[in-house]
């Protein structure tokens, strides 16, 4: 399947989302080459990571078969889980692709390198205009784990400033990587 055409069609009314997705694709491939990651995984996962971003709450509820996510995760996170489900419905069976899409927002304990690269790429793709995006990109060229930690720290700080409590798993993943377990 031509996932790029699929995404272009899906985002024909959302040019900013398409520009972001293609920016994530470009950044993920760049970082994947540096870190010896599976480029096919990164190509597909980066193109599909936000594919359900503009869908309705009802769509996400229908696609996500996990009451914990629906009841305790903020709605803006739902798209990661529904996008992974859609990828499966499209016939994708590669577990690295599904993991990368599913966890592209904040990663997971003991994640694949492709998932970490997608998290960093989503945060730091060239169309991002906030200061931390460029800092993360510069660090990612030298140390992907340090760049990932900057992504999580920045996200946690952003949530704190907005008065939003991060989900338990976000904090656990941050501690896991901050303590250097991997």
Q: Are 44 and 29 in contact (CB under 8 A)?
A: no
Could you identify the residue written with the tokens 């305790």? Answer: 72
* pLDDT tens string 17-29: 999 999 999 999 9
* pLDDT tens string 27-74: 999 999 999 999 999 999 999 999 999 999 999 999 998 999 999 898
Residue 143 tokens, joined = 């140390």
3-178: CATH architecture: Orthogonal Bundle (1.10)
Read out DSSP for the chain?
--HHHHHHHHTTT-HHHHHHHHHHHHHHHHHHHHHT--HHHHHHHHHHTTTTTTS-HHHHHHH---HHHHHHS-HHHHHHHHHHHHHHHTT---HHHHHHHHTTTT--TT--HHHHHHHHHHHH-TT--SHHHHHHHHHHTT-HHHHHHHHHHHHHHHHHHTT-PPPHHHHHHHHHHHTT--
Domain boundaries, the chain: 3-178
Q: How confident is the model at residue 182 (pLDDT cuts 50, 70, 90)?
A: low
Q: Are 39 and 29 in contact (CB under 8 A)?
A: yes
Q: How confident is the model at residue 129 (pLDDT cuts 50, 70, 90)?
A: very high
Over residues 123-146, the mean pLDDT reads 96
């Amino acid at each position: 399947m031509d996932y790029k055409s699929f995404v272009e069609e899906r985002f024909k009314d959302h040019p900013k989302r398409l520009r972001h997705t293609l920016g994530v694709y470009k950044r993920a491939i760049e970082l994947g080459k540096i870190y010896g990651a599976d480029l096919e995984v990164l190509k597909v996962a980066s193109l599909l990571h936000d594919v359900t971003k503009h869908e309705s709450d009802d769509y996400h509820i229908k696609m996500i078969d996990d009451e914990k996510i629906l009841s305790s995760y903020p709605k803006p996170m739902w798209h990661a889980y529904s996008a992974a489900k859609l990828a499966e419905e499209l016939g994708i069976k590669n577990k690295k692709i599904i993991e990368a899409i599913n966890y592209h927002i904040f990663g997971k304990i003991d994640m694949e390198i492709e998932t970490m690269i997608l998290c960093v790429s989503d945060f730091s793709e060239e169309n991002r205009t906030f200061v931390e995006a460029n800092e993360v990109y510069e660090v990612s060229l030298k140390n992907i784990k340090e760049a990932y930690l900057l992504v999580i720290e920045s996200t946690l700080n952003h949530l704190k400033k907005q008065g939003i409590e991060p989900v338990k798993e976000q904090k656990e993943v941050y501690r896991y990587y901050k303590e250097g377990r991997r």
